[in-house]
Structure 1
């Protein structure tokens, strides 16, 4: 198999793993009281950072680029709204909505070269546009905002990689391996979540709402998310962000919807089942169009 074929296979396998884990990572928390979510998000981010530490040691501690932390800061800001979203509109619908806007923001910034990044070309632009468009089907306040923030999370890393090819850039010679930025990215997540949690404690006059029973489920959720994101980094490297974003951000909504149907009974009735299947067909079509646009 050619090197390009190996990269594509690796990228698509990593995408599938990421989709399953992203669609399932909030499942451990669903049946536990999480209050306003501020303590929970800190626990989740602590678990994320520990996974990053392990990955960093496995990679023999590649160079740390502080700018890559900015993406983590953006992600942590969007993550604050996750618990209220899940509690108000459900796991499946929440992930479908923020995943759609995550896909749109991440895809567009890579495809058109927003925020100083290099615009990425694909072999079949029309298929890529159709795939990205079909991946975006809904919208709703907090989930929309979270999706936009999530969609911007990889911008600093892609910016560093793009500018590493320019001799006059401070990032000249930076690694092209996305996994080399995991530790900086996840450190940004943990640092930002810690700042938010401390600010929350001050606002609550040192009486934060803690839910100890959610600590282990929250930690497990963080580990699943961290592994999924590492797979996303691999997919970005193998497929490019303009292809991986629509695929990985659209798929978890269906996985979460399946959890909502079979485990939590959030979706009931023939009409809703048919609508869900229609949404799945649209998502699958979008993902296939995006995938074939690379070939």
Structure 2
């Protein structure tokens, strides 16, 4: 499908995740030449431009989570009127856990030309420095804030075989790592990447249980968490065998709920699978 010949071009610019000098040559040129820039934080944009020695001649508008829907409609109108729009977030690529997706979808629907100015990414930077497998991975964004929703989301990922990449707030890091240790097992390998590419960059690698204990010491900065995928199951899989393993623990005095959790972790299975096996066996 050919583009809308009368429309402007939507440019998605990847911003540095730490050091300004990581900005691409194309991003510098786009900042200098742009007529309209939609920025997640206009103050950070002006600071970046100053650090890069770029003079902004564009009309700068704010474009953040709370105004994304309304602003996307406005920016689409500019594009349809033939004006180019550069979208830039605080760090990394627009649309990846940052504003941009709605505008891209609207531009696609109207056949507006879209181009990307590639550059730094916290996702791939953390992935390659984690030391965990990189051949297959998935990005899971920010885990849910509410404990129940977070637990359900992580439990659903317990058997995910690919390396997983998450973003997290430093304020919630300790509870999230503890929830991951509960869902994936305390021994699952992981890495916490803090302040990537910045002066105080820190990479902590180890089992989830150890990282959860470390995170209790008031960790600060931008955080990316990388967690190894589920290993190939080597234990029980037959429902009757799973129910029998739970029964053995119950007979030794372990509460049923705890026994189900233990059997699930030992065999690399979701708790729901073991629970269903126990219920069906009792029927």
Bin the TM-score by the shorter chain: under 0.3
Give me the TM-score of the superposition, normalised by structure 2: 0.21
**Larger relative contact order, structure 1 or 2 (CA cutoff 8 Å, min sep 6):** 1
Larger Rg: 2
Structure with greater proportional helix content:
1
Structure with greater proportional strand content:
2
Give me the TM-score of the superposition, normalised by structure 1: 0.21
